Structure 1
Amino acid sequence: MSTRVAIVTGGSRGIGRRSAERLAADGMAVVIAYTANTAEAESAVMDVTTAGGQAVAVRPRA
């Protein structure tokens, strides 16, 4: 069985972060896309992985 992957834009804060956490709790690997706040994105990844999920933060190039 393959792992499903969700890409969440704006996933480091607010609604995006809660969505990323929920998707991870539902068994998806999560890509947290962010534009500016690396610390928030890393914190979101840490929260997901601490809860047992899989996550990575990605900052797209401009």
Structure 2
Amino acid sequence: MSSRRNPVYDFGGQVAFVTGAGSGMGLATARAFAESGAAVALADLDERAVTAAAQEL
């Protein structure tokens, strides 16, 4: 069995605009970009959810 490694991404100096970022896959995507060094702009129709997500990140 071969061992697989997850690729490592560096988004330092980049901006990611993530829609649906208040929950679910959108929030997971925003979190992944942030953890990879990107500045992240969040958008969602649910203002409370996206505000909470922004505070978390």
Interval containing the TM-score (normalised by the shorter chain): 0.7 to 0.9
Question: Which structure: larger Rg?
Answer: 2
Task: Count residues with an aligned counterpart.
Answer: 46
Query: Stretches of 4+ moved more than 4 A in 1?
Result: none
Once the two structures are aligned, what percentage of the paired residues are identical?
A: 30
**How high is the TM-score relative to the length of structure 1?**
0.68
The answer for unaligned runs of 5 or more in structure 2 is 1-11
User: Partners of 1:10 and 1:18 in 2: how far apart?
Assistant: 10
**Residue matched to 1:16:** 26
2:56 to 47, 50, 59: 47
**How high is the TM-score relative to the length of structure 2?**
0.73
The answer for unaligned runs of 5 or more in structure 1 is 49-62
**Residue matched to 2:5:** none
